Amino acid sequence: MSFISGLKAEYTQKRINKIKELEVNLNKQEGSIKSNNFSPNMVVVEKKTPLRAFPTMLSIGRNIDYSFKSLKNNPKIPQNKISSELLNEFEENAHSLGIMSIGYTKITPEIIFKDKSVLYENTIVLTKEIDKNAVDNEFNDKTVNDLKLYDELGKITNRLVDYLRINGFGAQASHPAIGSVTYPALAQYAGLGWKGKNNLLITPELGPRQKITAIFTSIDNLPFNKNNQHSWIPKYCNMCGKCITKCPEQAIKEIKTNNEIYKSKITPELCRGCNESCTICMSECPFNKQDYGSVKKRFEKINKKSLSS
């Protein structure tokens, strides 16, 4: 190991330890929503990142730190009702910073990773576009590009949390690069889309091409999602399965269930993921090749045919 690589590994380990310490403190906080026996384990697989990505990693680390340390800036007695004017202003602000879609849901312990916790159940879910060129084409700096997007979205999340605090609300930023929750499931609960077999959120706006982040807040009168119009997607996934067959590492496995909808499971140790320049399960997904409406039309046509035969 070179001297520089050694320093990089030492720094990364220190950061991970620091984050764990901050998470433990949060876990002890009275009133926090904790994981339960049904919660998933968070698997962290160490990835090789090029040295040129180090400045971006430093920035991600600083912003993760900020998301924890700034919790002390939450108002002592936070407000819990937001006016529709202020919510509109918040959403406009978010869109002007590059956020694509916004959804609201109440978090449940089942989607909080084991041994983690969040401060409030009221959740704002935000998505940001992954550039289509970065998904469809091969180029040298795909890894750095992906980390930069995590960094950008982490900064936006912190800025929006600061905005809520200035307006008297309690808020906690969940950095997109780590987070205490399974983001695709959270976004599904917020009605933004549905989780495909590739384990990615599929939305009408961007198909599978987005990063997800969240804010937990004291605001309890948000327009929480009550139904999800995208529940047809798993049935389409059942007929498709392209992400499974195209994955070069056989990292996605289909699990047969007792009903007609099959589940899928990703093996994190096998998956190279965006930060190792693999976007195949995203690029090959029909929702990336065609718009949402066209895929839905095709699905309805096939469905109709099979029902009448």
Binding site for ligand SF4 (CB under 6 A): 196-198, 236-237, 240-243, 247, 249, 251-252, 266, 271-273, 278, 280-281, 284-287
**Encoded tokens for 126:** 């935000």
For the CB of residue 185, give the shortest distance to ligand SF4 in the complex, in Å. 15
41 DSSP assignment: P
Task: Say whether 25 sits in a helix, a strand or coil.
Answer: helix
CA distance 101 to 230: 15
The residue among 186 and 202 lying less far from ligand SF4, judged by its C-beta, is 202
**Encoded tokens for 283:** 């690029």
212: exposed, middle or buried (C-beta count within 10 Å: 0-12, 13-18, 19+)?
buried
User: Quick count: other Cβ atoms within 10 Å of Cβ 178?
Assistant: 18
Q: Which residues pair with 34 in a beta bridge?
A: 117
Q: Which residue is nearest to ligand SF4 (CB)?
A: 196
For the CB of residue 240, give the shortest distance to ligand SF4 in the complex, in Å. 3
The residue among 163 and 287 lying less far from ligand SF4, judged by its C-beta, is 287
For the CB of residue 191, give the shortest distance to ligand SF4 in the complex, in Å. 18
For the CB of residue 236, give the shortest distance to ligand SF4 in the complex, in Å. 6
The residue among 34 and 242 lying less far from ligand SF4, judged by its C-beta, is 242
Do 81 and 153 contact (CB within 8 A), yes or no? no
| Cα 252 to the center of its chain, rounded Å | 18
Among 80, 79, 274, which residue's Cα sits nearest to residue 177?
Answer: 274
For the CB of residue 251, give the shortest distance to ligand SF4 in the complex, in Å. 4
CA distance 309 to 294: 23
The residue among 67 and 279 lying less far from ligand SF4, judged by its C-beta, is 279
For the CB of residue 48, give the shortest distance to ligand SF4 in the complex, in Å. 14
The residue among 161 and 202 lying less far from ligand SF4, judged by its C-beta, is 202
The residue among 128 and 230 lying less far from ligand SF4, judged by its C-beta, is 230
